[in-house]
A and B are shown apart, each in its own frame.
Chain A
Amino acid sequence: MNSPRKINYELRPAKFTERKMLLASLTSICRFYNLDYQYIGFGGLSFTDFKLFHKELHINKMTSIEGGDLLQKERVEFNRPFSFINLEYGLSTTILTKLNLSEPSIIWLDYDNALENHMFEDISIIFRKLPAGSIYIFTSNRELKDKNTGNQYEVESFSKKFGSLIPFDVKNVDFSGTENYKTIRKMLLGHINSFIDERNLLNENLKFYQLFNFLYQENGGAKMYTFGGVIDKKNSNLTDSNINNFEFIELGEEPHRINIPNLTIKESEYIDKNFDDEDSIIESRIIEEHDLKKYKQTYKYLPNYFDVRL
Chain B
Amino acid sequence: MSGIINGNPTKVFFIEMLTRDISITDAIIDLLDNSIDGASSINKNDYSNLYIHLTLNENEFIVEDNCGGFSLDTAQKYAFRFGRPEDAPPTTGTVGRFGVGMKRALFKMGKVFEVESKTDDDHFQIDVDVAKWKEQKTIEEKDGVDVKRDDWNFNYNIIDDQSKNLDNNGTYIRVTDLYDEVSNLFTDESFLNDLTDDIERILNFSLEKGITIKLNGKTLSKKGIYLLMSERVKPYYYEGEKNDVKFRVLAGLSHTGDPSVAGWYIYCNDRLVVEADSTELTGWGVRSNVKFHPDYAMFRGILFLDSDDTLKLPLTTTKKGIDSTANIYKTSRTYMEEGMNYVLSFLKDVRKLEDSDDYRNTLDEVEEKKNVVELKRENFNSYDSRKFFAPDLSPDVIKTKKDSVRISFSAPIKLAGKAKVHSGSKSYKELGENIFDYYTKMEELLDE
Binding site for B on A (CB under 8 A): 90-91, 93-94, 97, 117, 120-121, 123-125, 128-129, 163-165, 191, 194, 198-199, 201-202
Contact = CB atoms under 8 A, between A and B. Distances in A.
A136 to B, nearest CB: 15
B414 interface: no
A125 B287 contact: no
A147 to B, nearest CB: 18
B334 interface: yes
A160 to B, nearest CB: 12
Given A97-B342, A124-B337, A198 B330 contact: yes
Contacts of A93: 345, 348
A163 B285 contact: yes
A122 to B, nearest CB: 8
A128 B287 contact: no
Contacts of A129: 386
Given A201-B330, A202-B331, A94 B348 contact: yes
B327 A201 contact: yes
Nearest to A125: B341
B288 interface: yes
B349 A191 contact: no
A290 B285 CA distance: 48
Contacts of A198: 330-331, 334
B286 interface: yes
16 contacts: A91-B345, A91-B348, A93-B348, A97-B345, A97-B346, A117-B288, A120-B288, A121-B290, A124-B288, A124-B338, A125-B341, A128-B337, A164-B286, A191-B287, A199-B334, A202-B240
Nearest to A199: B334
Given A94-B349, A124-B341, A201-B327, A165 B287 contact: yes
A172 to B, nearest CB: 23
Interface string B56-91: 000000000000000000000000000000000000
B334 A124 contact: no
Nearest to B342: A97
Interface in B174-218: none
Main DSSP-derived SS at the A contact region: helix
B388 A202 contact: no
B289 interface: yes
Given A97-B388, A199-B334, A124 B287 contact: yes
Nearest to A162: B288
Contact of B288 (A90, A97, A191): A191
Interface in B220-242: 240, 242
Nearest to A96: B345
A117 B434 CA distance: 49
Interface string B320-357: 00000001001100100110011001101100000000
For A91, A129, A194, A198, which residue has the most chain B Cβ atoms within 10 angstroms? A198
Nearest to A198: B334
Q: Interface range on chain B: under 10, 10 to 19, 20 to 34, or 35 or more?
A: 20 to 34
A293 B140 CA distance: 91
Nearest to A163: B285
A121 B349 contact: no
A165 B285 CA distance: 10
A189 to B, nearest CB: 13
A124 B289 contact: yes
Contacts of B289: 121, 124
A201 B331 contact: yes
Contact of A164 (B287, B290, B342): B287
Contacts of B386: 129
Contacts of B349: 90, 94
B195 to A, nearest CB: 37
Interface in B341-400: 341-342, 345-346, 348-349, 386, 388
Interface string B120-163: 00000000000000000000000000000000000000000000
Contacts of A202: 240, 242, 331, 334
B306 to A, nearest CB: 18
A258 to B, nearest CB: 28
A124 B340 CA distance: 11
Contacts of A121: 288-290, 341
A128 B334 contact: yes
B288 A128 contact: no
A113 B315 CA distance: 45
Nearest to B345: A94
A198 to B, nearest CB: 5
B214 to A, nearest CB: 45
State the 3 A-B residue pairs at the shortest beta-carbon distance, nearest first: A120-B288, A198-B334, A94-B345
A201 B329 CA distance: 11
A93 B331 CA distance: 23
